[in-house]
A and B are shown apart, each in its own frame.
Chain A
Amino acid sequence: MSELGERVDAANREAVRRMLEAAPTWNGVVRARHVVTGLGEREVCLAGPAVGWEAATAAQRRAVIEAVLFEGWADDEEGAAALVEEGGVTLGSAADRGGATPAALAVSPSTPVLCVEDRPTARRVWAALDATTSTGAARALDTTGDRLARRVFLRDALGPALDRAVDVAGSIELLPLLAHALHRGDDLGARTDALQTLVASELSRHLVRAGIPRGELGLVLDDLARGSTVAAALALGAARSIADAATGVPWSTIVTAMGQGGRSFGLRVAGLGRAWVTVRLDGASLVDEDLGDRPLAECVGLGAFAMPAAPALLAAYRTSDGAIADRVLAMRSITATAHPRLTVPLLGFEGVRVGIDVRRVVETGLEPLVAIEDVVRGPRVAPLAAFAAALEAFAEAAGIGDGGGA
């Protein structure tokens, strides 16, 4: 092995060690302006690497317009679009602001976000609550009015209630909940139903003790029972917290973020800090435009890497591609190690695979799958071109390749 190779291996071991030692804890729910670092007064954050209005997808533009209306910066959709086009609203990246969004959601200053803190390091991240009222293919049926109403409910009712409940609890450790959910049929990427049940169960007693008014309590409990909005955000927040633990480890080639911004797919690599490496997607390889920061789950061994934990999901995928199970097992070869606490019963309680190594993806050509709810379309693929670009960026930063060397 070359000296450089040993240095990278050692860095990766350190990066993965930090990820495995992360202990994400849910501390509360606040409005984005109070926790999102540097968020401007007229700024909204989207998923993935930063994207401008021109490059934003139709779903992202719709989300931005909804955020503008939600904040009251414009009176109607035409006015909102005009405001953004004139530069009256800044578009940022949630990841660059220390957070994550579950879908094509624009996080504005009044948007409620879950606060997650890594207990060993006190490092804080946030994750936004999804404002859709439907899931999967039905998501497109949501109207702007539906989504605005939901955002108001999240801001004025669900968010504050959850915050009071978590305050009563002190804080809620997420790893035990994630571990339980994996044992109950979730992959914690496309499927968080079991986690939602566990969270609702955990929160209900704290909600009661928090003294939430009866009528409001009923609405909150109904909402928790109906969908997995909170669970999806918690899973995303936990993934952000775990992945961020490795950010900035020098010489490490471990992936700390993946996401789609506009028509580009982006990666972050630990050794490159918070810089995004992006590749342009063409029509054939365009990942689901509603992916958001969802691929964060795969960065920490959840989602597609934990698909064997979700037999129902895998069974649905198997009707379209029987080789997915083999692919999921093969993907272990592009990761660093197994998580000791997040295990999968169907794999003999083997730990989920943590730490996608850019070198191994490029070497094997094995593109990681990204699990999505839409089982008809099947799991998506993080494009190899993004990993190749990341490797080249890493090599350039390290001063190797094209005549250089260790």
Chain B
Amino acid sequence: MTSSERPRASWFPDSTPAAPRTLDEAMGQRPAATLAVIGAPRAIAPVEVRRALEHGLDVLVVGEGLAPDDAAAEAAFAGERGLLLLVDDAVIDGTPIGGALAAVRTGGLAVVATDVAGAVEATCAAERAGYGAGQVLVVGDPDREEVVGGAATLAAVARLGADPGTTAITVIGPGDARVLRAIRHACVATGKPAVLCDPCGEPRRGIGWESVGSIAELPRALVRLGVDPGPPPPPRSAPARGEIVLGLLRARSTAHEVLGVLLPAGIDVASNVARAGVLPDDVGGHTVLALPSVAERIAWLERVSRTERVGAIVVDLPATPAADAEAPGLLAALGEVAGEAHAAGRELRVIAARSRPASRAPTAVDDALAQLGALVVEGAGAAATAALGTPDRGPVSAPPLGGRALSVITLAADDVAASLAARSVPVLPIAWSAPAGGDARLARLVGLLR
């Protein structure tokens, strides 16, 4: 009988390994991981980013990000190894990572942008013309500077060139003229149609590529290049009684997360988030609203929740003093609405996305949620999944970028881990704490000695 077959006491479970505390341990548990999402503080992040790259992982840096010098150094290091160094948000293999790109419709277009705003604008413009984007990669502004030489963009273009699911490449953002020329050459070398959007450049056209001066011209350029939008999205069914999900969220990021679950499930959703920018006139179907003002959320709640077709209300209540201070009014309104629905014999579920550290004692808000009978989950994505009341169908399938299925390790990015888990993406969170209590110098020493 091998040691793995011998019985172990119930105090020490043998089937579940202890949560990894470092990237090394995480790689030991998940050697097939492809992406590290790193949200460590800026002073310490370079050490962890370098470690992830040394393990052969693509890296997405979230949170405070990297200082410009560190970003340049790590981008160069990543580029030398053909790895991706991304920032903020991304869509990889049709899976949105981070909130801002949660509503992107998947397709054959690949977008490489210097910032999230450009990525969102490009995907919106493309979608209006029927194009979906299965890969959206944000590389950060410093990448296009001469000193960096577009290392991250070039690595991304090379990877997209080899990706069978990518039918066209779009590169967004200004940069050094020589860097942009190198990027254009790399795009042409892939043999795939390419559009480069440089607000500071002159419109130009070549064989298989175009350079335009604004993102608004992207769709026409794609058409001129003969890029096929692909099949139209499947028709979406109208919600039946008691099936409508009403999302009243204080943060746009959480609204994006909710959309990120609903949209891939083929559900039609009205929203004031991102591209629409306009509040819907009425609740004809699922509605997800980002409303920073609690008074507005209460007003919408009272306006629409009495409709018998609303079956679930999703709210986000982060465990912060500011959110807890404004929560009582919203919870009281939810209590009234839920009481009325119960008295009328209607089922109405209240689902709260609320992340409270175990070390923090429950507050009055937690007590009120318990009294309300609300389902409290961690992460807006999980809340949306619970609201649907059906198993999460997972991400829309797309050929894996780089030939390997997306498998994520997160470090100091618990929100990202939760939203990925809600989408059934393999994710392994690291139980990370800053080295030596956040001492950047010690962290660098450890990095030098590893």
Contacts and interface: CB of A to CB of B under 8 A. Distances in A.
Interface of A: 1-2, 4-5, 8, 253, 308, 311, 314, 325-326, 329-330, 332-333, 346-350, 359-360, 362-366, 384, 388, 391-392, 394-395, 400-402, 405-406
Given A1-B450, A350-B3, A364 B437 contact: no
A168 to B, nearest CB: 38
Given A364-B21, A365-B435, A4 B449 contact: yes
| Size category of the binding interface on chain B | 20 to 34
Give chain B's interface secondary structure class.
loop
Interface in B429-450: 433-437, 439, 441-446, 448-450
B448 A346 contact: no
B6 interface: yes
Contacts of A311: 9
A362 B12 contact: no
Given A314-B11, A348-B6, A364-B433, 6 more contacts: A5-B448, A333-B21, A347-B12, A350-B3, A392-B445, A406-B448
A62 B102 CA distance: 69
A350 B437 CA distance: 31
Contacts of B435: 362-365
A388 B11 contact: no
Contacts of B12: 308, 325, 329, 346-347
Nearest to B17: A329
Interface in B392-450: 433-437, 439, 441-446, 448-450
List the 3 closest A-B pairs by CB distance, nearest first: A348-B6, A346-B9, A364-B21
Residue among B7, B11, B25, B449 having the largest count of chain A Cβ atoms under 10 Å: B449
B272 interface: no
B302 interface: no
Nearest to A400: B448
Interface string B321-332: 000000000000
Q: Which of B4, B7, B21, B434 has the most CB of A within 10 A?
A: B21
A2 B50 CA distance: 10
Given A308-B11, A308-B12, A359 B446 contact: yes
A68 to B, nearest CB: 42
A394 B442 CA distance: 12
A249 to B, nearest CB: 15
A397 to B, nearest CB: 12
Contact of A366 (B6, B11, B21): B21
A359 B436 contact: no
A391 B54 CA distance: 22
A50 B9 CA distance: 42
B8 A348 contact: yes
Residue among A308, A348, A350 with most chain B CB within 10 A: A348
A122 B8 CA distance: 38
A392 B442 contact: yes
B22 interface: yes
Given A348-B7, A359-B450, A401-B444, A384 B437 contact: yes
Nearest to A362: B436
A206 B444 CA distance: 57
Contacts of A346: 8-9, 11-12
A359 B436 CA distance: 10
A400 B445 contact: yes
Contacts of B22: 333, 360, 363-364
B14 interface: yes
Contacts of A391: 442, 445-446, 449
B18 interface: yes
Contacts of A350: 3
Contact of A330 (B4, B18, B441, B448): B18
